[in-house]
Amino acid sequence: MLDIRFIRENPDAVKENIKKKFQDAKLPLVDEVIDLDAKRRAAIAEADQLRSNRNTLSKQIGMLMGQAKKDPSKLAEAEAVKQQVKEQADRLAELEKLENELEEELHKRMLVIPQMIDDSVPLGPDDSCNVEVERFGEAKVPDFPIPYHTEIMESFDGIDLDAAGRVSGNGFYYLLGDIARLHEAVLAYGRDFMIGKGFTYCIPPFMIHGNVVEGVMSQTDMDGMMYKIEGEDLYLIGTSEHSMIGRFIDQIIPGEKLPQTLTSYSPCFRKEKGAHGIEERGVYRIHQFEKQEMIVVCKPEESKDWYEKLWRFSVELFRSMNIPVRQLECCSGDLADLKVKSCDIEAWSPRQQKYFEVCSCSNLGDAQARRLRIRYKDENGRMQLCHTLNNTCVAPPRMLIAFLENNLQADGTVVIPEVLQPYMGGTKVLVPKK
């Protein structure tokens, strides 16, 4: 959410930013916001004047009532002033109601106007215009066929989608045996990898209030992702970022305690609306999964550096597991409304002979901090909004697709990279059961 003063003073820049995001339908919102803000400020000014008048008139009534003891003619004058106070009180009540209505309408529109994107963001209407920046590791295609990822898992008796369908429906899974152990090993390795980078490990609440949801994501994302608990002001989180950033709602963080660098584990729950292709069956796009996340809350001047650090952590992590990756810069039309800048880390799929997303790194500037009122005092004692960033550390079981495909051998075994062996009881190779 933008600062209303910024919109008021830079309407053309805000409109140009909307055009860069190919959301021209939102252009009228800028003028509507400016008009509502002007009416709201006028109502506030008039109400403040009436409150000031009330104090003056109250003193005048007291004085006239005192004089009326000696001069009865003053009584009528006092009654006239009382009538004036009543009329102004009625008007003040109208203005206070109007002020609340205007504030609500203003807030509703402000939530929809997108954050100002960074100048470096490539322009384009959708993800087809995302730009490859750099590749890490050699993307190889082996000389033997690679089965679909669920077939690899089934060879280890490691997955049961049929039972999950009977119990929960499509988009759920049972992981079993070595595959389930590998799933947990990757999460534990990701946790310790981030702790080694100086991040504090956290396990957050898995349900959050509606005002926190509104603070961390756009309405469009909320409608397409979040599961609401019936009869409760609670939502299941789609990622631990939601509750981790929500932790700082209405907080003034001491400047010396910034940046806050946190790595959090949580299950994630997503509606995943829309139809998807064959490569998104299995455990690629699902309603429930687990994830290790990276979260940073920092001073504005530090957020660009942290953005670079976060996505590079992902590259380092995946390369340590023998998975080639690339960085893909997200174009303007592919950015969620709260994001200033974002990139995906995509893993190489030898089976598909293309890359697919396994991490998403985002700098949200002060968007979440403004909505949730997350602030700090600078060196001059002035209150400032923090900046927030997030990045996926690991999100199995999706990343297991990349892991299994890139570490699969011709005989059906899967090599366990050295970094994961301590989390697998020293196992170096997984041997299929069938």
**Residue range 277-306, pLDDT digits in tens:** 445 578 888 899 999 999 999 999 999 999
Bridge-based pairing state of the strands 341-349 and 354-363: antiparallel
Residue 156 lies in a domain: yes
Residues 217 and 346 in one domain: yes
pLDDT tier, 152 (very low <50, low <70, confident <90, very high otherwise): very high
Name the nearest CA neighbour of 241 among 259, 220, 274, 215: 215
Name the nearest CA neighbour of 20 among 111, 143, 125, 90: 125
Residues 55 and 159 in one domain: no
Q: Which pLDDT value is given to residue 168?
A: 92
Report how many domains make up the chain.
Answer: 2
Residue 121 lies in a domain: no
Residues 186 and 96 in one domain: no
Residue 117 lies in a domain: no
Residues 203 and 269 in one domain: yes
| Residue whose pair of structure tokens reads 């050295």 in the numeric block | 418
Q: Which domain holds residue 178?
A: 127-430
Residues 73 and 220 in one domain: no
**Residue range 164-182, pLDDT digits in tens:** 999 998 889 999 999 999 9
Residues 80 and 177 in one domain: no
Q: What is the pTM of this model?
A: 0.89
Residues 51 and 144 in one domain: no
Residue 119 lies in a domain: no
Residues 104 and 163 in one domain: no
pLDDT, mean of residues 200-208: 97
Residues 79 and 148 in one domain: no
- Radius of gyration over every alpha carbon of the chain, rounded to an integer in angstroms: 28
Residue 122 lies in a domain: no
Single-letter amino acid, residue 431: V
Residues 207 and 176 in one domain: yes
Distance in angstroms (rounded) separating the CA atoms of residues 139 and 311: 19
Q: What percent of the chain has pLDDT over 90?
A: 79
Q: For residue 285, give the CATH number of its domain.
A: 3.30.930.10
Name the nearest CA neighbour of 347 among 321, 329, 386: 321
Residues 30 and 137 in one domain: no
Q: For residue 45, give the CATH number of its domain.
A: 1.10.287.40
Residue 115 lies in a domain: no
Cβ-based neighbour number of residue 188 at 10 Å: 17
Phi-psi category of 312—alpha, beta or left, where left has phi over 0 and alpha has psi -120 to 50?
A: alpha
Residue 274 lies in a domain: yes
| Residue whose pair of structure tokens reads 């005192």 in the numeric block | 66
In the sheet where 383-385 sits, what is the strand order?
Answer: 252-253, 375-377, 383-385
